[in-house]
């Protein structure tokens, strides 16, 4: 059974803009998680880079596991003007 969604053109434009913002933020965070040398460095870089892009930043909350090389960041951002939203990015280094 096919599920129909009705969106006005404005809603779908906003959705794609929102998705673009989320992907941009996720890309920035994943790059930082992949390249930072420490948890503190990653936290600072995420805040700095997202502020440069015009977001106010709450967080990030980081998981930084040296043993498994699993890294995750959860950040709440707010654009000006706009609503806040949460983004999670993860990175796993494989040996």
Any domain includes 22: yes
Any domain includes 1: no
Looking up residue 73, the CATH number of its domain turns out to be 3.30.1300
Residue for token pair 């420490």: 38
pLDDT in tens, 45-66: 999 999 999 888 888 899 999 8
Distance CA 86, CA 59 (A): 10
Distance CA 64, CA 67 (A): 9
How many structural domains are present in the chain?
1
pLDDT in tens, 33-43: 999 999 999 99
pTM value is 0.74
**Domain extent at residue 86:** 10-92
Helices (H), 1-95: 9-35, 39-52
């Amino acid at each position: 059974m096919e599920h129909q969604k009705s969106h006005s053109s404005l809603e779908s434009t906003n959705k794609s803009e929102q998705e673009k913002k989320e992907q941009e933020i996720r890309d920035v965070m994943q790059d930082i998680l992949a390249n930072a040398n420490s948890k503190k460095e990653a936290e600072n870089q995420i805040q700095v880079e997202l502020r440069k892009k015009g977001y106010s930043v709450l967080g990030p909350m980081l998981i930084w596991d040296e043993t498994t090389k699993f890294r995750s960041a959860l950040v709440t951002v707010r654009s000006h003007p706009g609503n806040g939203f949460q983004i999670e990015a993860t990175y796993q280094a494989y040996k």
